[in-house]
Amino acid sequence: MPGSNASTSPFGTSNINQPRPWALPAIDQILEKGKTTFFDDDVDRQRARVIEDTLKMLGAPVKVVEINRGPTITQFGVEPDFIETRGSRTRVRVAKIASLVDDLALALSARTIRVEAPVPGKGYIGIEVPNEQIALVTLRDVVESDAFRRLKSPLRFALGQDVAGNAVAADLSAMPHLLIAGQTGSGKSVCVNSLICCLLLHNTPDDLRLIMVDPKRVELTNYNGIPHLLAPVVVETEKVVGVLQWVLREMDMRYHKLAQVGARNIVEYNARLDATTDGKEKKLPKLVVFIDELADLMMLAPDETQGAITRLAQLSRATGIHLVIATQRPSVEVVTGIIKANFPARIAFAVASNTDSRVILDQPGAERLLGRGDMLFQAPDAPASIRLQGTYVSDNEILTLVSYWQSFFPSTSLAPSMAGGIPDAIPSGIPLTQMPLWEDMQAQEDKDPLLEEAIDLSRRQGRASVSMLQRRLRIGYTRSSRLVEAMQEKGVIGKETGPLGYEILDYGQAAPPVEES
């Protein structure tokens, strides 16, 4: 992996006509340093006393045994005490403490309080009280933490800080897909942006390609013009099903490639390619598809969207394709059971009701979150969700990172969205090789110019097959299989008959080939 290129000017476009080789940005040139917030231990001790006094008064005495201060909330770990009932000593029931949250909130004059009973791995009940002052968790805080550095995957990303202020990071390739839900203003887009920024900080376009879908047109269009994008940010809802189908075809094509060399997954495939071709052959990049607002798509084309997303989610892990989907509407019509079943990694931001929380996490709790990045993260293999304050990435940081990557295209000025143009226009000046997606979709809409040649060739060969067309026409698997489909539709060829491929039904003007005996 190339190192950072702090020595050569990262934003320079010195050699105007020569594309520079990819180099990763230096983190300290992109991300801003966080500020340390000071807090008052006295406030915590005072609150601990209020908790003990209030619960005692309500007949549920507890002892505060631990205080953890996080960026947004402070967690008071409490142990139930004993009470005397009819001569015998019994412990206060956990359920009793949990039922008193509203009284506690009133006593502490807190907006909402969440009780976690018990805290997994700890012997106490967690009472989470909002801090008076909320500390910002910057992306840099987490990216430079040990928790982040420990992860070696190129798709690692910063999530935030937990209730004790410890940095938490995760690995997208292990998830392998992520569902993010929460009401408006709760922090979904900020979360998606910090995930994208983490990926852009650690991956060149050779290693990672992105597809972004943003029906709202304001959340992701800033990324237009970076070389990782396979196509400009897709903003038209009608185009999305086509995009998803393209990704499905790409997945099939990748499976085909893996099968050809007998690799089980993309990592194995790339390693083998490196070893056998000395790195001359292009490696398969990872592909991450971002959808910021699933609801719009599910309204327009529920069956196609759900079908494509579930098929991708079920099959794409081995081929290095990952989905990140956000939605404002965690209802069962949008986040359907089948979609949910395929997204074991989920983030819930603040939601309006515990019904919404159940839709996302299968349990209540998200209705008690505070908004603005306060989240519950459910890791795919974890028994319970953890509460985090999400990382914040500023528009300025995003802009710096975007212009860093844009600077690799000498002729590209700023993307139209930033230059004040139409946000969804294809940025001008970007080499066409950046957009095979578009070419491909175009070819699908229009008739493939190679169709006549493919028909002619197949008639002369007396058979047709995807691999034959691939070889003879020097085209990719995807395009070749579409040509075969088109020939089938036209009735030129029939069914697949064994390893030799498809039989020819219509020989047209050409004479059938002479059978060799």
CB of 456 to Mg ion, least distance (A): 51
Q: Which residue is nearest to Mg ion (CB)?
A: 189
CA dist., res. 406 & res. 11, Å (int): 9
Does residue 189 touch Mg ion according to CB under 5 A? yes
Q: Which is nearer to Mg ion, 68 or 186 (CB)?
A: 186
Is residue 490 within 8 A of residue 454, CB to CB? The reply is no
Give the helix, strand, coil percentages of the chain, each rounded to 5. 40, 20, 40
Q: Which is nearer to ligand ATP, 136 or 414 (CB)?
A: 136
CB of 335 to ligand ATP, least distance (A): 14
Does residue 222 touch Mg ion according to CB under 5 A? no
Q: List all residues 6 or more positions away from 477 whose beta carbon is below 8 Å from its beta carbon.
A: 252, 253, 256, 257, 466, 470
Q: Which is nearer to ligand ATP, 189 or 400 (CB)?
A: 189
Q: Which is nearer to Mg ion, 47 or 188 (CB)?
A: 188
**Out of Mg ion, ligand ATP, none, which partner does residue 475 contact, by CB within 5 to 8 A per kind?**
none
Q: Which is nearer to Mg ion, 289 or 464 (CB)?
A: 289
Q: Which long-range contacts (CB under 8 A, 24 or more apart) does 488-494 make?
A: 490/455, 492/455, 492/458, 492/459, 492/464, 493/458, 493/464
Phi and psi (nearest 5°) for 93? Answer: -70, 140
CB of 373 to ligand ATP, least distance (A): 2
**Out of ligand ATP, Mg ion, none, which partner does residue 392 contact, by CB within 5 to 8 A per kind?**
ligand ATP
CB of 256 to Mg ion, least distance (A): 36
Is residue 181 within 8 A of residue 346, CB to CB? The reply is yes
**Out of ligand ATP, Mg ion, none, which partner does residue 136 contact, by CB within 5 to 8 A per kind?**
ligand ATP
Q: Which is nearer to ligand ATP, 375 or 469 (CB)?
A: 375
Q: Which residue is nearest to ligand ATP (CB)?
A: 373
Q: Which two tokens stand for residue 40?
A: 């008052």
**Out of Mg ion, ligand ATP, none, which partner does residue 176 contact, by CB within 5 to 8 A per kind?**
none
Q: Which is nearer to ligand ATP, 188 or 346 (CB)?
A: 188
Residue 65 vs residues 42, 129, 161, 381: alpha-carbon distances, Å:
16, 15, 22, 29
Q: List all residues 6 or more positions away from 111 whose beta carbon is below 8 Å from its beta carbon.
A: 105, 130, 370
Q: Which is nearer to Mg ion, 122 or 217 (CB)?
A: 217
Residues 201 to 220: which contact Mg ion by CB under 5 A?
A: 219
Residues 41-70 vs Mg ion: string with x where CB under 5 A?
A: ------------------------------
CB of 237 to ligand ATP, least distance (A): 16
Q: List all residues 6 or more positions away from 260 whose beta carbon is below 8 Å from its beta carbon.
A: none
CB of 185 to ligand ATP, least distance (A): 4
Q: Which parts of this chain interact with ligand ATP (CB under 6 A)? A: 136, 182, 184-190, 328, 372-373, 390-392
CB of 188 to ligand ATP, least distance (A): 3
**Out of Mg ion, ligand ATP, none, which partner does residue 185 contact, by CB within 5 to 8 A per kind?**
ligand ATP
**Out of ligand ATP, Mg ion, none, which partner does residue 373 contact, by CB within 5 to 8 A per kind?**
ligand ATP
Residues 134-173 vs Mg ion: string with x where CB under 5 A?
A: ----------------------------------------
CA dist., res. 321 & res. 458, Å (int): 33
Residue written as tokens 């040139």?
Answer: 29
CB of 187 to ligand ATP, least distance (A): 3
Q: Which is nearer to ligand ATP, 191 or 309 (CB)?
A: 191
Phi and psi (nearest 5°) for 127? Answer: -110, 115
Q: Is 446 exposed, middle or buried (0-12, 13-18, 19+ CB in 10 A)?
A: exposed
Q: Which is nearer to ligand ATP, 65 or 134 (CB)?
A: 134
CB of 194 to ligand ATP, least distance (A): 8
- Centre a 10 Å sphere on the Cβ of residue 20 and count the other Cβ atoms it contains: 15
**Out of ligand ATP, Mg ion, none, which partner does residue 434 contact, by CB within 5 to 8 A per kind?**
none
CA dist., res. 126 & res. 114, Å (int): 8
210 closest CA partner among 434, 406, 23: 434
- Centre a 10 Å sphere on the Cβ of residue 350 and count the other Cβ atoms it contains: 24
Q: Which is nearer to ligand ATP, 373 or 423 (CB)?
A: 373
Q: Is 79 exposed, middle or buried (0-12, 13-18, 19+ CB in 10 A)?
A: middle
Choose the binding region for Mg ion from 187-195, 265-273, 358-366, 447-455 (rule: CB under 5 A).
187-195
**Out of Mg ion, ligand ATP, none, which partner does residue 414 contact, by CB within 5 to 8 A per kind?**
none
**Which SS3 state, helix, strand or coil, does residue 69 take?**
strand
CB of 364 to ligand ATP, least distance (A): 20
CB of 155 to Mg ion, least distance (A): 22
404 closest CA partner among 228, 189, 157, 230: 228
Q: Which residues face 482 on adjacent strands?
A: none
CB of 485 to Mg ion, least distance (A): 38
454 closest CA partner among 443, 441, 468, 442: 468
CA dist., res. 466 & res. 464, Å (int): 7
**Out of ligand ATP, Mg ion, none, which partner does residue 187 contact, by CB within 5 to 8 A per kind?**
ligand ATP
Q: Which is nearer to Mg ion, 62 or 326 (CB)?
A: 326
Count interface residues toward Mg ion (CB under 5 A): 3
H or E segment to which residue 245 belongs: helix 237-261
Q: Which residues bind Mg ion (CB under 5 A)?
A: 188-189, 219
